[in-house]
Structure 1
Amino acid sequence: MVIQGVTLALVLALIAYLGSNAAYNLDRLGMMFGFDFLSSTAGFDISWSLIPYDPSMTYWRVFLVGITNTLVLAFNVILFGTIIGTVVGILRLSSNPLVALLARSYVEVVRNVPLLIQIIFWFTAVFSTLPPPRRGYALGDLFFLNNRGFYFPSPHSDVSFLWFAGAIVVFVGAAWLLYRKARATRFHQTGNRKVVRTGWFIWAVALVLACIIGNGFVEWSIPALDGFNLEGGQYVPVAFGAAFVAMTVYRSAAIAESVRAGMESIDRGQHEAARTIGFSRYQMLRLILIPQAIRAIIPPLANSWLVAVKDSSLAVAIGFPELVSVFMQTSINQTGRAIEIISMVMGFYILVSLIISYLLNQYNARVQYKVM
């Protein structure tokens, strides 16, 4: 208790010293501490935003734009990086020596090249070399890829977004309940997956019908060439594409090593037993190996997800308008509120990290062996 009390006192003293030092320097410069600047007009444009924004909006809106762009990039990197990393990790254990060698070479090369260099490489050597809009790549006059970005049709509707969000929640919830019910009854009792497949088929038909009905309330904006650029639809800039590809490739290599280590932690007797009773390679992975390996994979996977969110700040090097770019650089230069802005950015990353850690720790606790 004495050691903890002394440690706490030292930490509080350090915080008090840093606070008084910051207050002294702000007073010496004639500046005030506060977040009132968030209601002021930003006055600068942002190259790409998923939510509506124009220069007449406030710095608070700039903060929201940066958060949205950062979360979209990080979510896609986590999703696709996990999928690719899982596949590569399994391929590393393939009995085919050529496949195993290719998977190992992928991991070793990608992991040993700094992420920032990979981002710059994909941006300068790949995406920036795409042809201009007039000579860009097109797929069915709906999707276009050029040196300004990837263009695709976007829906517009008079129906409130909340209705669409509610419908998605209902369908996802119905699918989850259907799956849980099917597994809790026939599947666990008999091992017959027919009930599960029938339920998924009914849900898919209902979803298709809902999309057909909802299409009557939606108008689609199709990209079309107008002058030297494409107008209409929606697009993602090449900076997003370069950051997404580089971060996904880099993160998938780390996840692949976690998957490989988790799979190799399982006793070889489990492999032999599965083959002995006639399991196919897919059945062995799905029913025997992965359910046991997941207990060793989750902890390092959680760290990879946390790092993926933080790595999104490196996209500032190629001009992608994420949180650090639009809020911790441009906004600081215009307002001079460095302490407030940096503390808000730090708070965002801490909050996201705590949420990811909590969710994965909860899942990790559920899949661990229970001591009776």
Structure 2
Amino acid sequence: MWWGPRPFTQVVVIIAVVALFYVLGHNTSVTMSRIGVIPGFGFLQRSANFEIGESLIAFRAGDIYARAILVGILNTVKVAVLGCILATILGVGLGIARLSGNLLLSGIVRWYVEIVRNTPLLLQLFFWISLAQALPAPRRALPLLDAFYLTNRGVFVPGPIFQGLSFPTLLVAGLVFVAWATFLWTARRQGKLTLRSGLLAGVLAVAGVALGIPLTGASVSLEVPALSGFNIRGGYSLTPEFAALLTGLVVKFSASIAEIVRAGIQSVKRGQWEAARAMGLHDGQIMRFIVLPQALRVITPLTTSNYLDLVKDSSLAVAIGYPDLVSIVNTTANTTGQAFEALLILIVIYLILNLSVSALMNVYNRRVALRGGRPA
């Protein structure tokens, strides 16, 4: 039966665990009541009397604690999503370069991977935030291509500026996106999706949005930052804390992904390369059409683990002053005294984030496994 060969023992263990949690919960509740702290989550609707230096949504002192925690969630999701994307791009490039026949390039990548993987992430974050704070003031900023500026107040980059946005504008953009996604899904189901057709569909979708926006009375332009007096105006600015955290996460996990990619490529038998060359394919085509599709079956599960670690390690942002979820929840616990509830919120949110990442990657992993076919 489902309860196993020793049901009585299992029932006793379950009762003991439930009783232990009950005793711990009761003692915690009594202790909190004795020191004047009312257990519960009612504090989330009280005013938070602190400012948050960086947020994706409007927040000011006096807003409720629930909104402050939402700011922390969005800040964590922002750095985690960008970190996963950039670490993957850099890691794949480094992994392929690691197998290059150029000994100098291969050696440089090898030393990069070894140094980064064998130093603590927290130490690397301290290095990057120190470097960011050591950059010159805005009036002596380090320009890159006259479009990017590195300063001790942050990194300034070009960014799109939207004006006159309205519901028709969002509707047009939404319809174009749905049409683009429908095309990709249909082409994939029919086995007709190629890199060229996917890129062409993406270009047409961007062109459709660009042509549709002016028809709704809106406009979009690219604003490039420029030095103005003693400051830099225009474009987007990345705070030193965010730039340091993102750089640290990308550098750290790109090294791990590079090794995963290298191992995945080397798992494909050499005969595959020789057969592809016999068919007249050059190395770039062999890598794209033959090797990487098979290597993904090895790469994807290990990369999923790296994504989960990146999301969790983003909590080290509290050490360099970036207002992520851990930083804001910690401030909430200190100002309200609801440390147990704050810790529970933190655990649940990180659990949801990691389970979401795992579920998405498992869906992709199943698609990769199906494409690989059955072993002979």
- Pairwise TM-score range, normalised by the shorter structure: 0.7 to 0.9
The question of whether the paired residues in 1 share the 8 Å contact of 2:168 and 2:216 is answered with no
Q: Greater CA deviation, 74-83 or 270-279?
A: 270-279
Q: Greater CA deviation, 266-275 or 199-208?
A: 199-208
Q: Against the structure 1 CA distance between its residues 104 and 232, is the aligned structure 2 distance closer, same or farther, given a 3 Å change threshold?
A: closer
Query: Does 1:209 pair with 2:215?
Result: no
Query: Partner of 1:149 in structure 2?
Result: 154
Query: Does 1:87 pair with 2:93?
Result: yes
Alignment partners' CA distance in 2, 1:171 and 1:103:
41
Superposition deviation, residue 13 in structure 1: 2.8
Superposition deviation, residue 254 in structure 1: 0.9
Alignment partners' CA distance in 2, 1:224 and 1:275:
50
Superposition deviation, residue 176 in structure 1: 2.9
Q: Against the structure 1 CA distance between its residues 154 and 195, is the aligned structure 2 distance closer, same or farther, given a 3 Å change threshold?
A: closer
Q: Against the structure 1 CA distance between its residues 80 and 218, is the aligned structure 2 distance closer, same or farther, given a 3 Å change threshold?
A: closer
SS of structure 2 residue aligned to 1:309: helix
Q: Greater CA deviation, 86-95 or 71-80?
A: 86-95
SS of structure 2 residue aligned to 1:368: helix
The question of whether the paired residues in 1 share the 8 Å contact of 2:161 and 2:222 is answered with yes
User: Pairwise mapping of residues 94-109 of structure 1 onto structure 2 (< 5 A)?
Assistant: 94-109=100-115
Query: Partner of 1:11 in structure 2?
Result: 17
CA RMSD across the alignment: 3.0
Query: Partner letter of residue 338 of structure 1?
Result: A
Alignment partners' CA distance in 2, 1:73 and 1:200:
25
The question of whether the paired residues in 2 share the 8 Å contact of 1:119 and 1:246 is answered with yes
The question of whether the paired residues in 1 share the 8 Å contact of 2:95 and 2:262 is answered with yes
Superposition deviation, residue 277 in structure 1: 1.3
Gaps of 5+ in 1: none
Q: How many residues align?
A: 366
Superposition deviation, residue 4 in structure 1: 4.6
Superposition deviation, residue 133 in structure 1: 2.1
The question of whether the paired residues in 1 share the 8 Å contact of 2:138 and 2:230 is answered with yes
Query: Partner of 2:364 in structure 1?
Result: 363
Q: Against the structure 1 CA distance between its residues 222 and 44, is the aligned structure 2 distance closer, same or farther, given a 3 Å change threshold?
A: farther
Query: Partner of 1:295 in structure 2?
Result: 297
Aligned residues: percent identity?
Answer: 38
The question of whether the paired residues in 2 share the 8 Å contact of 1:187 and 1:196 is answered with no
Q: Against the structure 1 CA distance between its residues 307 and 57, is the aligned structure 2 distance closer, same or farther, given a 3 Å change threshold?
A: same
The question of whether the paired residues in 2 share the 8 Å contact of 1:182 and 1:196 is answered with no
Alignment partners' CA distance in 2, 1:74 and 1:278:
41
SS of structure 2 residue aligned to 1:33: coil
Query: Partner of 2:354 in structure 1?
Result: 353
SS of structure 1 residue aligned to 2:56: coil
Superposition deviation, residue 138 in structure 1: 5.0
Q: Against the structure 1 CA distance between its residues 358 and 166, is the aligned structure 2 distance closer, same or farther, given a 3 Å change threshold?
A: farther
Superposition deviation, residue 195 in structure 1: 5.9
Superposition deviation, residue 166 in structure 1: 4.9
Alignment partners' CA distance in 1, 2:148 and 2:154:
11
Alignment partners' CA distance in 1, 2:97 and 2:42:
54
Structure-1-length-normalised TM-score: 0.87
Structure-2-length-normalised TM-score: 0.86
Query: Partner of 1:253 in structure 2?
Result: 255
1:166-191 C-alpha deviation (Å, 9 max, x unpaired) = 55443333223333445666947xx9
Superposition deviation, residue 265 in structure 1: 1.6
Query: Partner of 2:175 in structure 1?
Result: 170
The question of whether the paired residues in 1 share the 8 Å contact of 2:68 and 2:328 is answered with yes
SS of structure 1 residue aligned to 2:161: strand
Alignment partners' CA distance in 2, 1:261 and 1:197:
28
1:214-244 C-alpha deviation (Å, 9 max, x unpaired) = 6844688886778755566642210111111
Q: Greater CA deviation, 5-14 or 196-205?
A: 196-205
User: Pairwise mapping of residues 1-372 of structure 1 onto structure 2 (< 5 A)?
Assistant: 1=3, 2=7, 4-124=10-130, 126-137=131-142, 144-152=149-157, 155=161, 157-160=163-166, 166-182=171-187, 187=192, 199-211=201-213, 213=215, 216-217=218-219, 229-230=231-232, 234-328=236-330, 330-369=331-370
